[in-house]
Copies of this chain bind each other. A is one copy, B any other.
Amino acid sequence: MRSNDDDNQARLGPFVRIGTIRTPFDTAQGTPIQGGLSGKEEGRVVIDPVYREGLSDLDGFSHLILIYAFHRIEKAKLKVIPYLDRKERGVFATRSPCRPNPIGMTIVQLLEINEGIMRVSGVDMLDETPLLDIKPSIPAFDYHTAVRCGWFEPHLKRIEEQQIVPLADSRFHD
């Protein structure tokens, strides 16, 4: 599924690991499907010493956007059956990790930052996940009203009504 345009490719990486996300999750089984749904699982983000200067002023922000690599995904798919669903969906209409570019994004709460190590809550990544970027979460930029969520809406109602915290099982085999 790679383009033949080598010139374009050259501009898109390779990207560097700026740090590592440490979580309690060694396998997909038992991992929250989205950190924002439970928000309770704690993890640590350990920034490589050469990038720590870039963390200054971050302690004023309560929530961070973590952008990372789905490092255990070996094969991309264009159609996946998402966790909680039974129908194949286009991968770009899901949060499945089996994407053409295995890039994940989770918004976590920053609990503490100390010498390049952050304690955060709301993690949903596997342990040892390579971190690509941190951005401050700014509702004025990122939050919208009247958001429609397509195929996910009936599942969302089910989650809200039953107060389930969904955990992955087959998520990494989609």
Contacts and interface: CB of A to CB of B under 8 A. Distances in A.
Given A34-B140, A39-B144, A101-B133, 6 more contacts: A51-B78, A53-B79, A60-B151, A62-B148, A67-B105, A107-B141
Interface string A83-114: 00000011111110001110101010100000
A132 interface: yes
Contact of A91 (B54, B61, B99, B103): B54
A100 to B, nearest CB: 5
Contacts of A89: 56-57
Interface residues of A, number: 78
Interface of A: 1-3, 5, 8-18, 34-37, 39, 48, 50-51, 53-63, 65, 67, 69, 71, 78-79, 89-95, 99-101, 103, 105, 107, 109, 130, 132-144, 146-152, 156, 159-160
Contact of A103 (B15, B139, B150, B152): B15
A46 to B, nearest CB: 13
Contacts of A92: 51, 54-55, 58, 133-136
25 contacts: A12-B130, A16-B100, A16-B101, A35-B141, A36-B140, A36-B142, A37-B141, A53-B90, A54-B92, A55-B90, A56-B89, A56-B90, A57-B93, A58-B90, A59-B150, A60-B148, A61-B148, A62-B149, A67-B103, A92-B134, A95-B136, A100-B133, A101-B133, A103-B133, A107-B142
